[in-house]
Chain A
């Protein structure tokens, strides 16, 4: 509250008592902020010195953008296709029951190989479905079953079944290789790689069971010449 005394001092240009207190308070606060901010600045490197910060030990930061980890929308479509392919293959191998394997006259190691392959494709379908996330499970595709030549598993004799199974695995290896080269997310690529590498083993073992020699003509690189994705995978995006 002003009184005649303070008004008189203001008139003659001298700071009032209240103004002095307020000015002192503001000045103190400003000083306190400046002092308290000093340690943080010292940690980051002083900006008051004229010499620049040393850069000899600096690590160059890669400028490439990190790929996504989780499946992208396009990857989800790709996963749905891969799941359909695996469910189709799994359904086809179900024709090779223990009774049928015995009927075909396979020995124990060969029988175990077929049992394992059947379980693997079911596991692949489930793993792909799990990575995709909640959705209706995909159904096997008759069209893809035809492309894989699955009918021979149910109808053929021993050598025919072995040949058909090897053909299925070769097609799956090529298909997944194609999908690995299409998938954007690292999780999708990692899952597909983990199953494609075993499907290549399936194919190699089945070829050996057919007594095919692993000769000098063996390819040094997998190819995707017979990939199903070029014909049956049509992304909607």
Chain B
């Protein structure tokens, strides 16, 4: 847009003249307002009647009133809800400290729980393959050595060594799986193998999990000196049970396509009719239901280990369990018996 500079200047000069003309009148008005007020009272008129003394008076009274109101407030809270009878005393949950001793005791107890499972598997004749039996006997002897080592470390750390299975893990987790395997029928042997593999994987993952929780580097080293052996156990067993697939899909190298025939079990169901057609339903075999791989991934996993056991039959859902590394609910705390 175009502006006329001359026109703008003319407007400004006109505005200035109007301002000069009204300024004098305004000054006269202010002078007239205070003309009759004594000089010592002019501040009171300007401040609305509050002088220095008045300011202190108001402030003091306000604070005093606050103090009085605060002092008069209700001191004891009323009963929230009337209760008939006597309410029980609840004890708040205790957060027990997880110390090195707790982890060492838990490690010993887990080893004994695994030893206990192997003994039951061997005693009950669940495992049929002699090669697997030989391996489990070796593994069992290793677990005894591990349990003894952690018991000794517990004592050296000032704790009470545990030389018994972890009752929480054995009773709540392992024994129900054994009971299911006992009723697994033809799947008993494969389920037992899968359980043994899962236990070795669990043991390795447990020590990997404990490593950053232990406060002393020497104890971490001791944990992984055992944890790596448990991982070897799992791999050796996996090579024996699943030699065709040594590397897991999450290992960064996809498995080669399998040209062999599927090993699934075909279950024929349905009443024969006049028509020759039959209905087939594929039921997962025991070996397929569980992930048994010698090198499952690039890094050690601490995730729950899935295990599926039980009889295979049409319409029967096999029992799926997640084996998790010991944690707050299954630790063997210092004040607890094995």
Contact = CB atoms under 8 A, between A and B. Distances in A.
A162 to B, nearest CB: 13
A116 interface: yes
A64 interface: yes
B226 to A, nearest CB: 6
A204 B235 contact: yes
B64 A57 contact: no
Given A116-B295, A177-B224, A181-B221, A200 B70 contact: no
Interface in A77-124: 108-113, 115-117, 119-120, 123-124
Interface string A39-77: 000000000000000000101111011110000000000
B318 interface: no
B295 A201 contact: yes
A197 interface: yes
14 contacts: A57-B92, A59-B96, A109-B244, A124-B298, A180-B211, A187-B212, A193-B211, A198-B298, A201-B231, A208-B294, A218-B138, A220-B146, A221-B229, A222-B225
Given A109-B244, A109-B245, A204-B236, A197 B64 contact: no
A223 interface: yes
B135 to A, nearest CB: 7
B255 interface: yes
B123 to A, nearest CB: 21
Interface stretch (B7-15, B54-62, B164-172, B279-287): B54-62
Given A109-B243, A205-B246, A120 B212 contact: no
A234 interface: no
Interface string B294-319: 11011110000000000000000000
Given A109-B244, A120-B298, A198-B300, A28 B63 contact: yes
Given A109-B246, A198-B297, A221-B229, A189 B70 contact: no
Contact of A190 (B52, B212, B252): B212
A167 interface: no
Given A25-B60, A57-B94, A195-B299, A181 B218 contact: yes
B228 A190 contact: no
What secondary structure prevails in chain A residues at the interface with B?
Answer: helix
Interface string A1-31: 1000000000000000010011011011101
Contacts of B235: 200-201, 204-205, 208
Contacts of B152: none
Interface string B223-239: 11111110110111001
Contact of A200 (B60, B223, B232): B232
A193 B70 contact: no
B322 interface: no
B118 to A, nearest CB: 15
B204 interface: yes
B247 A21 contact: no
Given A109-B244, A116-B251, A200-B228, A29 B204 contact: no
B95 interface: yes
B295 A202 contact: yes
A25 B66 CA distance: 10
A173 interface: yes
B211 A189 contact: yes
A135 interface: no
A194 interface: yes
A204 B294 contact: yes
Contacts of B215: 64-67
B237 to A, nearest CB: 9
Contacts of A175: none
B92 A32 contact: no
A215 interface: yes
Contacts of B97: 59-62
A214 B135 contact: yes
Contacts of B229: 200, 219-222
A35 interface: yes
B33 interface: no
A29 B64 CA distance: 7
Contact of B300 (A61, A195, A214, A221): A195
Contacts of A129: none
Contacts of A193: 207-208, 211-212, 220, 223-224, 227, 300
A193 B226 CA distance: 11
A24 B217 CA distance: 65
B67 interface: yes
A201 B234 contact: yes
Given A21-B57, A181-B220, A220-B141, A32 B66 contact: yes
A76 to B, nearest CB: 16
Contacts of A109: 243-247
B145 interface: yes
Interface in B185-243: 204, 207-208, 211-213, 215, 217-218, 220-221, 223-229, 231-232, 234-236, 239, 243
Nearest to B64: A28
Contacts of A60: 97
B99 A64 contact: yes
